[in-house]
C-alpha cells in the first residue's frame, strides 16, 4: 500500500492537522536548531559587514584628515 492510498481513507483533519503536529513534536528540536543556526549566521554576517564598513569609514576619514593637514606622518 502506498502512502496516498492510506491517507485517502483518513479524515481531512488527520492529514492537515494531526500529521503536521506529530511532525513538529518529533522534529521540532531539529527545526528550531536549524532556524536558530541560520538566524545566528545571518546576524554574524550582518555584524561583520557593519564592522568592516565602519573600519573602512574610519580609515578613509583618518586618511583624508591626515593628508589635508600640513604635517602628514607615515606609520
| Residue 72 · residue 66 · CB < 8 Å | yes
Q: What is the mean pLDDT of residues 21-50?
A: 96
* Model confidence pLDDT, tens digit, residues 55-68: 999 999 999 887 76
- For residues 70 and 7, which has the higher predicted lDDT (pLDDT)? 7
* Model confidence pLDDT, tens digit, residues 5-33: 888 889 999 999 999 999 999 999 999 99
| Residue 31 · residue 37 · CB < 8 Å | no
pTM: 0.58
Residue 72 in this model has a pLDDT that exceeds 80: no
Taking the CA atoms of 48, 50, 54 and 56 in sequence, report the sign of the dihedral they define: positive
What residues have CB less than 8 Å from 66, skipping those under 6 apart?
A: 72, 73
Q: What is the mean pLDDT of residues 46-53?
A: 98
Q: Cell numbers at residue 14, please?
A: 488527520
Amino acid at each position: 500500500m502506498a502512502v496516498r492510498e492510506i491517507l485517502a481513507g483518513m479524515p481531512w483533519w488527520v492529514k492537515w492537522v494531526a500529521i503536521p503536529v506529530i511532525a513538529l513534536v518529533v522534529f521540532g528540536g531539529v527545526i528550531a536548531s536549524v532556524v536558530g543556526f541560520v538566524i545566528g549566521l545571518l546576524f554574524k554576517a550582518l555584524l561583520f559587514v557593519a564592522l568592516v564598513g565602519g573600519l573602512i569609514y574610519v580609515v578613509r576619514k583618518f586618511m583624508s584628515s591626515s593628508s589635508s593637514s600640513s604635517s602628514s606622518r607615515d606609520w
